[in-house]
Structure 1
C-alpha cells in the first residue's frame, strides 16, 4: 500500500540523461524514436529487419540513423560482411539509449497504472479522532483490495482540511458537519455517531447523563477549535450551563486516558465498531441525545481512479 503512484525518480533519470547528451555532445535534443531505431538495428544486425520490426519504411530507418549521426557528428554504425555493428561511439550511445528506453517505458507504465487506479497516491486530511477510530478499518480494507495505493494522512481540523482541499494539496477530507457550501468542493454526509459521556468507573453516575449532572463534575473536553467543542457547549447551554473544563485537548485518546485516571469526565463520539473501552471508563448515553456528524469532502469534477477506490471503501463505513 505504501508504493508510490508514479516513480518520479525514473522521470528524473530521463531528464538527467537528456542533459548528459546535451552537455556532452552538444545536442539540442534526442528523440526516443531515433534511439529505438538504433537499438533495434543493432539487436537485429540489419536495417531491413529493424524496419520490419518497427513497422517503418527502409528509408525512414536510414533517415533516423542519419539524423542521429548528424547531431552527434560521428558514425554510429558500420557494415561488415553483410551485418551491421555499432562503432565505439555507437556503443556508448547504445548503452544510454537502452536505459532511456527502458525507463521511459517503465514511467509510462507507472502512469498508466495510476490512471487505471491500480496504484497511486491519495492525500487525506482528518481529525485525530477519525484517524484513530475510523481510518484503520478503511486502510485495512484498502490494503487487501488495492495494496499499491499509498494513502498519505495529515492531521487537520475540518477548516484546515477544507482549505487544503480547495487549494489542491489534499484529495479527500473527513470533516465535521454542517459545513458551508464551498465552490469547487463536494461535501456529503458520511457518519452519524452518538456523543457519549465517558466517566471514571469509580464515580456513581445515572443511566442517562444530563447536562445538569455533568456540569457539576470535573470535565476534560475538546478544545474550542473543534466542532465537537461547539456541540458540547451548545448542549450544556441548552440546559442553562456553561461549565469550565479542567483541561481542553484536541486528542481523544489523551482525553480517554485522563478519564481513566479519574481526572474528569468527557463528551466523546462513540463509533459502533470501536473496540471495547478501558474498564476504568464507563460510557453513558446523554439526555437529550447528542450526535457527531461527519462528512466526506473532495473536489468536484473528475476523480482519479485511486482516489475513487479510497472513497468507495470509506463509503462502506457509512452510518447516517
Structure 2
C-alpha cells in the first residue's frame, strides 16, 4: 500500500497542484486561466486530470464561486508543505553550483548590532558583494514573532526562547558586569546587589531582555530599586555612567573589546549573571547559500568572543537544538 501511495505521489504533476490551488485562491476557473495565461478549458483539464489521478472530486461550485470539497480542502492545506519540500530539494541540488547572492533579513538586539556584528558584516560584504544583508534591531520577543512569521530570516536573540516552530543555535554566553565612572567608587573585586542597592542605577527600558535579567538578579539579592534613568541604547547608558550620573549593569561585550570606554571602571558581579545569545530560524526555513554563510559567520564570531572571554560553550537553558 505504501508503495502504491509513493508511486501516486511521484506521478502527480506539480503544475496540476499549482493550477488547482490558484482556482481556489481566485474563486473561478476563468480567473485562474487569465492569471496563468492559458485558456479556461486548459485549466479545467488540469484539474480533472488531478481529480482522476487521485480518484476523488476536489472542487465544487458554491453559488457563483468554486470551493473545495472536503478532500480538496485537505489537499489544499498540505500544499505549503509540498512547496517547502520542493524548495528545499532545489536549494540542496543547486547549493554548490550557485553563487552566494540574494537577500538575507537579519534581526538583532542593540548590543549584538554594535559589538558583535560589524566585523562579521564587513567580511561578508567583502567576500560576497552580491549578497544583500538587511539588518534591523529590536527585542527578543519581537524577533521571535518575526522569525515565526517569516518576515525575518534569522535573528540573534537572548535565550530562553519557547517556540516549537524555531531552531535554536546558542553562540555566545555573555557575562554581565557592573560599571561606574572611573575612580568614582571604591568597589570590591566583585560587586553584589547590596553594593549597588544604595546607588543610582541607570537601566535599559522595560521590555528589553537585558532589563528583565538585571531586575531579576537585583530582586534575588533583595535590592530591586527603581532606576534614575532608562534608555533603549547601551551607548547612552555608558555615556550617562561615564558622566557620573549613576551606575549600571551591562553585558561584558558592551564594555570590553570594541565596547571599551576609557572613562568607565567595571567589576564582575557576585553571584555571577550571564545571558546566552542564540540564532533562531524557522524549522522549515529553506536555507539558501547566502543564509548559510550569514549563520556560519555569526556563529563563528560569537564563539570567538566566548573563547576570548573564557566562557564555557554551553548553557543549561539553551541546548543547541530546536526550542522546547
Fold similarity call, TM over 0.5: yes
Please give the alpha-carbon distance, in whole angstroms, between the structure 1 residues aligned to 2:115 and 2:167. Answer: 23
- Structure 2 residue 282 is the aligned partner of structure 1 residue 299: yes
Q: Is the 8 A contact 2:169 2:280 kept in 1?
A: yes
Please give the alpha-carbon distance, in whole angstroms, between the structure 2 residues aligned to 1:217 and 1:305. Answer: 50
SS in 1 for 2:124: helix
The correspondence for 2:234, drawn from 226, 245, 252, is: 252
1:1-320 map, 5 Å: 116-183=98-165, 185-204=166-185, 205-271=187-253, 274-275=257-258, 277-301=260-284, 302-317=286-301, 318=303, 319=306, 320=313
Distance verdict in 2 for CA 1:244–1:219, change over 3 Å: same
Distance verdict in 2 for CA 1:265–1:161, change over 3 Å: same
- Unpaired runs of 5+ residues, structure 1, are 1-27, 30-111
User: Per-residue CA shift, 1:24-73, capped at 9, x if unaligned?
Assistant: xxxx98xxxxxxxxxxxxxxxxxxxxxxxxxxxxxxxxxxxxxxxxxxxx
Shift of 1:113: 10
Shift of 1:177: 0.5
SS in 1 for 2:245: coil
Shift of 1:279: 1.8
Shift of 1:122: 0.6
Q: Is the 8 A contact 1:219 1:266 kept in 2?
A: yes
Shift of 1:202: 3.1
Shift of 1:114: 12
- Unpaired runs of 5+ residues, structure 2, are 1-35, 38-93, 307-312, 314-324
Shift of 1:277: 2.0
Q: Is the 8 A contact 2:174 2:276 kept in 1?
A: yes
Please give the alpha-carbon distance, in whole angstroms, between the structure 1 residues aligned to 2:244 and 2:98. Answer: 52
Distance verdict in 2 for CA 1:117–1:163, change over 3 Å: farther
TM superposition outliers: structure 1 runs of 4+ over 3 Å: 112-115
User: Per-residue CA shift, 1:178-205, capped at 9, x if unaligned?
Assistant: 111232x212211101101111113122
Q: Is the 8 A contact 2:95 2:288 kept in 1?
A: no
User: Per-residue CA shift, 1:60-118, capped at 9, x if unaligned?
Assistant: xxxxxxxxxxxxxxxxxxxxxxxxxxxxxxxxxxxxxxxxxxxxxxxxxxxx8998242
Please give the alpha-carbon distance, in whole angstroms, between the structure 2 residues aligned to 1:182 and 1:167. Answer: 13
Segment of structure 1 superposing worse, 207-216 or 113-122 = 113-122
Which residue in the other structure is 1:85 paired with?
A: none
SS in 1 for 2:217: helix
Normalising by the residue count of structure 1, what TM-score does the alignment of the two structures yield?
A: 0.62
Distance verdict in 2 for CA 1:181–1:276, change over 3 Å: closer
SS in 2 for 1:275: helix
Q: Is the 8 A contact 1:115 1:304 kept in 2?
A: no
Distance verdict in 2 for CA 1:212–1:159, change over 3 Å: same
Normalising by the residue count of structure 2, what TM-score does the alignment of the two structures yield?
A: 0.61
Shift of 1:311: 0.5
Q: Is the 8 A contact 2:95 2:289 kept in 1?
A: no
How many matched pairs?
Answer: 211
Distance verdict in 2 for CA 1:138–1:189, change over 3 Å: same
Please give the alpha-carbon distance, in whole angstroms, between the structure 2 residues aligned to 1:155 and 1:276. Answer: 18
